[in-house]
Amino acid sequence: MIGLRRIAIGLASAVAFAAIAAATATVGAAPEPQTIKLTVKKFEYSLKQITVKKGTPVVIEITSQDRQHGFSLPDFNVRADVNPGKVVRVAFTADKAGEFDYLCDIFCGDGHEDVNGKLIVEE
């Protein structure tokens, strides 16, 4: 009886190990988020173009160097207020290929219309 019980425990452990290994393999297969640092000031973003691969989870860390700005990427339903002295993070998955505009959507002055850039999602 003891021997059979040990064998049963051993089998259960093996099954559990295999499940954990499989789970670990699944987590390991997920794409790593791509983190992009972006600053904004009157009247430009530091990056006029951001390029990522389709399917990539993207995190953009945005910092304002002067006043309140906005960050809006309407095609991915992403927007945030960007206040000086605080890093703002927006996250999304680049799940469609193409070129998409991002822009400041809080009026910031004479050059407000120039505060924009393009996200390029490559196949």
Total residues binding other proteins (CB under 8 A): 22
The residue written with tokens 């499989």 in the block is 22
Q: Is position 122 an interface residue for other proteins (rule: CB under 8 A)?
A: no
Among the listed ranges 19-27, 56-64, 83-91, 102-110, the one in contact with other proteins (CB under 8 A) is 102-110
What is the C-alpha separation between 68 and 98, in angstroms, rounded? 29
Other residues' Cβ atoms within 10 Å of the Cβ of residue 94: 23
Q: Measured from the CB atom, is 10 or 109 closer to other proteins?
A: 109
What is the C-alpha separation between 120 and 94, in angstroms, rounded? 9
Site string for other proteins, 60-79 (x = CB under 8 A): --------x-x-xxxx----
